[in-house]
Amino acid sequence: MSFDLLQRYRLSSELINAVRGKKPLRILDAGSRIGYLKSFLPEDVIVNLDIGFFSGYSQLVGDVLSLPFSSEAFEFSLSLDVLEHVEPSSRRDLLNEMARVSRDFFIVGAPFKEEQVEEAEKLANDFFLKVSGAENEFLSEHIHFGLPELDKVINWVEDSKFQAVVLPNNYLPRWLIMICLNAYLSHLPRAGDLVNLINSLYDRQFAEFDNCLPAYRHLVLVSKSGSLPAEKIRRRFTSPPLPRDFHRRAWDFAHRLLDELSAHHERVLLTLREEKNKLEKELYEEQERYIRTRMELEGIKGTFAYKLYQKTIGRIFNRSVNP
């Protein structure tokens, strides 16, 4: 799982645990893809829904603008990084649907319209284009639709007489570095395990300090009943100040990254050499088989039976040409 997914789902699961009244909860993840939330909340009943089918836990195909559930069907619902992929004219419909199917609490998370966020996404998308020859499909859609505006979401909350707490998620400068690093790593040969390792390492080193401003994303925790202890939640889930030795974490991460890159290249070279040796052996064996077959055929041609066969075929051919 990428650092970006880890951070948005971890913060969401921690918020769910902070306001839950019981276990297990019935939770909707609208726009879930394969269903990441279950790994954070294994005891809860998670219903994953997306516009297309992704193989995963309890996965349904449906439209977030017209959810196929009755009103208040879930104790909690969330929609992470979906709002920016919806036409601007329909974004309020998504909010209305999330409120309709939730008994009280729900989360809407997204990168919201800010100059520095838009610039970071443009830089990342340009990097994807240079590395892979194609734009990132998600970032290009953000640019096409335009990012949602946080003020409009807050206005909708107030118009609905709900309560909301807004929390930052994914420190923007590190988000940009990591999203570009992932783009580079994912285009290295046989790099799946390396990508997972680096993202896990980053998460362990920096995640607790990444829920701060400037943020790539904000999570909006909404209560229909107005029962959120807002200040307590903000204090608890906003990252603490950086420790004095924070630079050591950055140094350790960079050092480990270079070590893992070097080790990965060595593993790939070793694998390629082994495959080359295997192919050379198979080629040699095929050449030997060809030579043996050729010699056997030459031997057959010298036999009385083959010569008789040739004469018979020749006579049949002559008769068919000259009846």
What region does 269 belong to: left with phi over 0, alpha with psi -120 to 50, or beta? alpha
If one compares 58 and 36, the residue with the highest pLDDT of the two is 36
Range from 23-27, 30-34, 212-216, 307-311 that averages highest in pLDDT: 212-216
pLDDT at residue number 311: 78
Same domain for 272 and 200, yes or no, is no
Helix, coil or strand: residue 199: helix
CA dist 317 and 311 (Å) reads: 10
Same domain for 87 and 194, yes or no, is yes
Q: What is the pLDDT of residues 122-146, one digit of tens each?
A: 999 999 999 999 999 999 999 999 9
What Å distances lie between residue 204 and 6, 207, 259, CA to CA? 10, 6, 17
Domain coverage including residue 313: 248-323
Same domain for 32 and 132, yes or no, is yes
pLDDT at 297 over 90: no
CATH number, position 76: 3.40.50.150
Q: How confident is the model at residue 15 (pLDDT cuts 50, 70, 90)?
A: very high
Same domain for 211 and 237, yes or no, is yes
Domain boundary, last residue among 200, 225, 242: 242
Same domain for 202 and 288, yes or no, is no
Mean pLDDT in the chain?
92
Q: How confident is the model at residue 104 (pLDDT cuts 50, 70, 90)?
A: very high
Segment 317-321 mean pLDDT? 60
pLDDT at residue number 309: 73
pLDDT at 313 over 90: no
pLDDT at 58 over 60: no
Helix (H) or strand (E) holding 195: helix 192-206
Instruction: Output DSSP code: residue 134.
Output: S
Segment 264-288 mean pLDDT? 90
Same domain for 277 and 301, yes or no, is yes
Same domain for 236 and 264, yes or no, is no
pLDDT at residue number 307: 77
Number of domains the chain contains:
2
What global pTM score does this model have?
0.83
pLDDT at residue number 213: 96
Q: What is the pLDDT of residues 224-247, one digit of tens each?
A: 999 999 999 999 999 999 999 999
pLDDT at residue number 295: 86
pLDDT at residue number 323: 59
pLDDT at 94 over 90: yes
If one compares 150 and 275, the residue with the highest pLDDT of the two is 150
Same domain for 69 and 156, yes or no, is yes
Segment 199-222 mean pLDDT? 96
Cα torsion angle, 18, 23, 29, 35, sign: positive
**Is the preceding peptide bond at 243 cis, omega within 30 degrees of 0?**
no
Domain boundary, last residue among 220, 242, 264: 242
If one compares 120 and 33, the residue with the highest pLDDT of the two is 120
CB 221 within 8 A of CB 15: yes
Same domain for 44 and 162, yes or no, is yes
Segment 16-22 mean pLDDT? 91
Same domain for 62 and 179, yes or no, is yes
Domain boundary, last residue among 242, 258, 288: 242
Q: How confident is the model at residue 53 (pLDDT cuts 50, 70, 90)?
A: low
pLDDT at residue number 81: 97
Same domain for 226 and 287, yes or no, is no
pLDDT at residue number 23: 82
Same domain for 98 and 152, yes or no, is yes
